[in-house]
Amino acid sequence: MSAKKKGATKSGATDAPVATTASLFGDEGNRDEYLALVAELLEHDRRYYVDNNPSIADVEYDQKKKRLDALEAAHPDWVVAHSPSKRVGHTPLSGFAKVERAVAMLSLDNTYSAEDLTDFYSRVMRGLQGAGDKRVPELVVEPKIDGIGIELTYKAGVFVLGATRGDGLIGEDVTQNLRTVKNLPMMLKEKVDLLVRGEVYMPRDGFDKLNAERLSAGEEPFKNPRNATGGTLKQLDSRIVAKRPLRVLLYEVVGEVPGIATHSGLLDYLRRLGLPVYPDTKTVGSLDALLADTKVWQDKRMSLPFDVDGLVLKVNDLSQREVLGFTARAPRWAIAYKFPAQQGTTKLLDVELGVGRTGVVTPVAVLAPVELAGTTVSRASMHNWDQIARLGVMVGDFVLVEKAGEIIPQIVAVVKERRVGRESELRAIPPPSHCPECGDVLIKRPGEVALRCPNTKPCPRQLREAITFFCNRDAMNISGLGDKLVEALVSARHIRDLADLFSLTKAQLLSLPRLGEKSADNVLFAIASGRAEATLSRFLTALGIHGIGWVWAQKIAEQYLSLEQLLRTPPDAVYRLLVGIHGFGEERAGAVRDYLSDPQSQALLRKFVSLGLSPTEPVASTGPLLGKTFCITGTLSKPRGDFQKRIESAGGKFTSSVTKKTSYLIVGAEPGEDKRAAAIKNSVPILDEAALEALLRGETP
């Protein structure tokens, strides 16, 4: 089912105050109209950032926002603290005021095993039965977000105060910073007084982007999303905070809400008010169900867009909570179940050098094995030598290792106190001067921190990586050439460049160890299929030209419909044409010109042509998707490449990013937040896989 466009006339929320367009965009304004405009824009923000169901076109929102800015500039005395204009940050503070709370923010006791959970459940049962409550307790299971605890105060439905946990009783006033958090409503859907607690966090994709920007600027990256969140909240300049991808999830109401008797009821109440709450909490009614759900979460947590370090288990019935009460430091009715450790300390045994497809030489840490998140880690990324220098790490050091995004291990700190008495065992890690694979002198391009092999030998490691990239599904789509086979072909010198793939013989394949006749036939068939199905855009993608992924390869292929036409065009003329394409830019166009001008590249391309590979770009003249452009996010029932082929065969185009020219965004399981947001911003219809299938059949979804 397709999502509603931003231009839709209605959305699921209908109780927001809405000002009339005529009154807002007239020449005159009054304070009532200004307040109505504030309320309307805040409602649109909530629908966009919390509900993911906007109800206004982007251009109309921008017009209303400009009107708001004009009114506030003309009448600064009208400006209210919850105005949408505060989302962009404000004048830096000199410090944070202290906030003393009447009800302390307590910590939770931790558990680490099924035995601990059983003990907790037994204590709850004994406590209730001892007080005469014979009912079997229900427990609500929620993810324990690895963020920073906060408490929010709303007065008559308006956000007025946000404070950190601090020591539980006294926190810091970070209201100005929290106003910039996009999914935190400044106004509720009801004019109620509310004290609510939750967590500020940073999604993984936003954290990765922030760290990439910091590394590019020569700044030290944050260790993990929680570290980045804490550092951001402590910024005195909220304009900096506004540029960081913070988000909020709320999970606890302080005080009673008439008519609500359970924690799950309180969560529903928060949702009705328009507040962001985790959407998939579960209520379990027995110990067996609780233990089963914690096992499910071991894998489920990996699919979340933010870090969680465990689960929070809470008695659902509020009257039972009152019976159970508190210890001196924690409630008896709730507990935190912690997942296996994501960080660990181990010894750095050595540093190996890896060479990638583009020639970048990367240091890889060899570690004494350490258990992280239930797996044994013995290798970790060290990024580059600038990062090694920042950490001050040496071979022989004890280091803190973390699974970044719970997937890729990396060294985040050196345990320097463990150097004492071991100084003679430590060895510095200088940057290399030559490629470890081919011996070529390493270079560093202007503006880059990476050391790179220029591949003039050629470099066997780069060739292996280049072949693997050339054959992948989104490039030439040649299956069956695994890493071991590619390594054997390069080692035997049957393949000395990419074009040699298309001159491979059965005899050459059979000469390799442990490769039978049937396997050889399968490899040759896959290569022949890749040749037959090759398009110019796939081929240009497969070449791995710097900065040219398949989106930009498609742009080139649209201009030069065949490899022969591209080769007939002088490289400088190619540059002039490409640099004029919107978004292409001088750097990408220059990379294409440099590639086409390079004698080694020219020889390779001529060799491809001589071996019968001279792809063209199909121009569909018919088909149900003719003239339509599609982007996909998330996981569908088949590989994305399969859908790309079907879309292109039906006359459509496939792109990896969403722009105003995109016709549809197809959303599968676990979709990317950025593409969905771009679709909403650009009024691009959002469809599911069933709707795509309908379009492919020529039907209306």
Place 24 in a pLDDT band, splitting at 50, 70 and 90.
very low
Q: Rounded mean pLDDT of the chain?
A: 84
Quote the CA–CA distance of 433 and 487 in Å, as a whole number. Answer: 25
- Of the candidates 598, 549, 545, the one whose C-alpha atom is nearest the C-alpha of residue 571 is 598
Using the predicted structure, report yes or no on whether residue 8 has a pLDDT greater than 60: no
Residues in the chain: 701
64, 144, 314, 653: the active-site residue: 144
Instruction: Quickly list DSSP for 658-688.
Output: --TT--EEEE-BS--HHHHHHHHHTT--EE-
Q: What is the reported pTM?
A: 0.47
Burial class (CB in 10 A: 0-12, 13-18, 19+), 173: middle
* 313 bridge partner residues: 141, 335
Element spanning 140, H or E: strand 139-145
Q: At what angle do helices 460-471 and 536-543 cross, to 10 degrees?
A: 150
pLDDT tens profile 578-605 = 988 877 888 889 999 999 999 989 999 9
Residue 641, amino acid: G
- For 562-572, the pLDDT digits (tens) are 999 999 999 99
User: How many CA atoms lie within 13 Å of 21's alpha carbon, on the beta-carbon side?
Assistant: 4
pLDDT band at 58 (very low <50, low <70, confident <90, very high): low
pLDDT class for 87, splitting at 50, 70, 90? low
Of 280, 3, 284, 318, residue with least CA distance to 142: 280
Nearest to 554, CA basis, from 648, 623, 672, 663 = 648
Alpha-helix runs per DSSP H in 1-76: 21-24, 31-49, 58-74
Measure the CA–CA gap between 180 and 245, rounded to whole angstroms.
10
Pairing of strands 282-284, 308-315: unpaired
Confirm whether 6 is a catalytic residue: no
Ordered structural domains, the chain, with CATH = 21-80 (1.10.287.610), 110-338 (3.30.470.30), 343-425 (2.40.50.140), 460-533 (1.10.150.20), 536-610 (1.10.150.20), 629-696 (3.40.50.10190)
Sign of CA pseudo-dihedral 502, 507, 513, 515: positive
Distance CA 340, CA 343 (A): 9
* pLDDT single digits (tens) 446-488: 777 888 888 766 788 889 989 999 998 778 989 888 888 999 9
Q: Which residue has the tokens 């780069």?
A: 462
Omega into 458 within 30° of 0, i.e. cis?
A: yes
Q: What is the dihedral of CA 470, 474, 476, 482, to 10 degrees?
A: 60
